[in-house]
Amino acid sequence: MRLKGILSPRLDAPLPLWMIFPVVFVAVYASHFMLLRVPYYWDEAGYYIPAAWDFFRTGCLIPTTTLTNAHPPLPSIYLALWWKVSGFYPEVTREAVLMVASLGLLAVWRLPMRLLGVASVAFWTVLLTGLYPIWFAQCSLAHADIFAAACSLWGLVYALPARGRNPWAAALWFAAAALSKETAIAIPLTLVAIDIVEGFRSGAPARLKLWREAAWLSSCVIPLAAWYAYHYARTGFLFGNPEYLRYNAEATLTPLRILAAFGHRILHLTAHMNLFVPVLTAFAALLLNPRTDVEGHERPRLDRPILLRIWLLLLVNALVFSFLGGALLTRYLLPMYPLVLFLAVSVLYRRVPYWYGLTLLSAFAFFAALFINPPYGFAPEDNLSYVRVVRMHQAGIAELTKLCPAAKVLTAWPMTDELTHPELGYVKEPWDVFPVDDFTADQIARASQEPEKYSAALVFSTKDEPPSPFLNLGGEKLDERYFGLHHDLSPDLIARELNGTLVWRLDDRSLWIALIRFNHPVEARLDFGGLQN
């Protein structure tokens, strides 16, 4: 029997990580190949690319071409190094982010192997994570969240196992996560709190070990604190400009808003983008008895202390991002989705005879959600809808260039940045713009009072609205009050309110973009500063 075990290694024996990573990267690269040249989108264009671009050009860690919001600088440094070697192109940025995402998926493989030791569970957890629309989309976007998620997952690889923990290695990964996105610090601090509480409930030797681990994990706060001290010394703001702080931390502390946000977060972690498929099948599987092997032993299960830690991490993150973050962006929970999927797959493996079929069903559900939008409002960056938005904006700018050259353009963010920053990949020369917040009735009414300040309008849907107000994840009134839900006017109505002519329009499902031309005179501004001594 011993010789047979040597000649036929266990199927769940872990492969070397250096063999797994190239396979993961090739799969991720191939599945995202058509996205490599997509210009920068939304918060990429609004903050992360300008911040990295400023560091690339000037070596300054604090951005100058966009408002600083005190986000830590590790993503900017990483992207600037890639640009230094390979050039400043969207495809270089996408490839750099895919490398980080692949590193995160490698951690998704390693974590189940360390916690459960079953290769099939690790494989399906990696596959489902990679296919899950939010993770898949963020793999190609240069947001700080994918950096923080990859580092946080590696920190959990060394911090979660009951045996063989490596707290100093975990602390290094958690420090890198916090230097990528400050809110990532919630994960190690949750583990620190658990270790401290468990220390009080344990005997002297175990208590000392737990508190030593807590001290190591706590050390990951030091680099983040140093960054904030540096930022304060250079700008006078500890957590970024006051408007950013008000929107993301101060205006979010209303009890009703917190409760509503927590409801959204629970749905994000259990149902959004077809996540309900593995979650519901796992809960149904709990009604079945555990399966046994040929020798009558039950299939392995997660140790209760590890299970408790994972559940607490999910709960704390749901709570943290109910208090923080003006927008309910699902990417804030990016490191939590692999944990949800791991729990679901491990339950199916332990209790369902044909569990591969249910995991395959989840994979098909995730693949469909990449292209088929849910029947409620969502952010285009949650699946491949963001590519449609980018292509529509490119088409609109092309029509603007053809039909209204040299116009001063009324538009809203992010189009304002796309037209004024050539480095984002939409225009070759900056346009003169007249910005509005959005295309609601109130903003259009205000713009109508200053017709001399624009000669064209490039208007677009700023929200992907559900077909019915009853299909919002939360109540429409609450979403309007606390989460920025608004209703843009139609292009025809905007043109009528502004006394313009609708000269071009493009519709794609629930999204639209249109170009409006005006015949009224435009205010001219001349700059004589260069002629003065």
Query: With 90 as the cut, is the pLDDT of residue 313 above it?
Result: yes
Q: Which residue type, as a one-letter code, is found at position 334?
A: L
Q: Which domain holds residue 277?
A: 17-370
Look at residue 456 and give its three-state secondary structure.
Answer: strand
Classify residue 531 as left (phi > 0), alpha (psi -120 to 50) or beta: alpha
Query: With 80 as the cut, is the pLDDT of residue 438 above it?
Result: yes
Look at residue 515 and give its three-state secondary structure.
Answer: strand
Which pLDDT does position 7 carry in this prediction?
Answer: 36
Q: How far apart are CA 307 and CA 160, in angstroms?
A: 10
User: Cβ distance 375 to 385 under 8 Å?
Assistant: no
Q: Which of 370, 398, 430 is the last residue of a domain?
A: 370
Query: With 90 as the cut, is the pLDDT of residue 69 above it?
Result: no
| Overall average pLDDT of the 452-472 stretch | 79
DSSP assignment, residue 461? -
Q: Which of 348, 370, 392 is the last residue of a domain?
A: 370
Give domain status of residue 6, yes or no.
Answer: no
CA dihedral for 230, 231, 237, 240, sign (positive or negative):
negative
Clarify whether residues 63 and 149 are in a common domain: yes
State the pairing for strand pair 511-517/501-508.
Answer: antiparallel
Q: Which of 344, 370, 396 is the last residue of a domain?
A: 370
For the record, the structure tokens of 188 come out as 């190690």
For the chain, percent helix, then strand, then coil, each to nearest 5? 60, 5, 30
Query: With 70 as the cut, is the pLDDT of residue 511 above it?
Result: yes
| Overall average pLDDT of the 510-527 stretch | 75
E-assigned strands of 295-431?
A: 408-412
Which pLDDT does position 533 carry in this prediction?
Answer: 37
pLDDT category of residue 4 using cuts at 50, 70 and 90: very low
User: Cβ distance 368 to 306 under 8 Å?
Assistant: no
Clarify whether residues 355 and 392 are in a common domain: no
Clarify whether residues 356 and 391 are in a common domain: no
Clarify whether residues 92 and 240 are in a common domain: yes
Query: With 90 as the cut, is the pLDDT of residue 143 above it?
Result: yes
- pLDDT tens column, 326-351: 788 999 999 999 999 999 999 999 99
Clarify whether residues 215 and 326 are in a common domain: yes
Which pLDDT does position 375 carry in this prediction?
Answer: 87
- Give kind and range of the element (H or E) at residue 504: strand 501-508
Domain count, the chain: 2
Which pLDDT does position 522 carry in this prediction?
Answer: 58
For the chain, how far is it from start to end, CA to CA, in angstroms? 93
pTM beyond 0.75: the answer is yes
- pLDDT tens column, 492-506: 999 999 999 999 999
Query: With 50 as the cut, is the pLDDT of residue 526 above it?
Result: no
Q: Which residue type, as a one-letter code, is found at position 11?
A: L
- pLDDT tens column, 115-141: 999 999 999 999 999 999 999 999 999
Clarify whether residues 143 and 90 are in a common domain: yes
Q: How far apart are CA 309 and CA 357, in angstroms?
A: 29
| Overall average pLDDT of the 152-178 stretch | 95
Give domain status of residue 512, yes or no.
Answer: yes
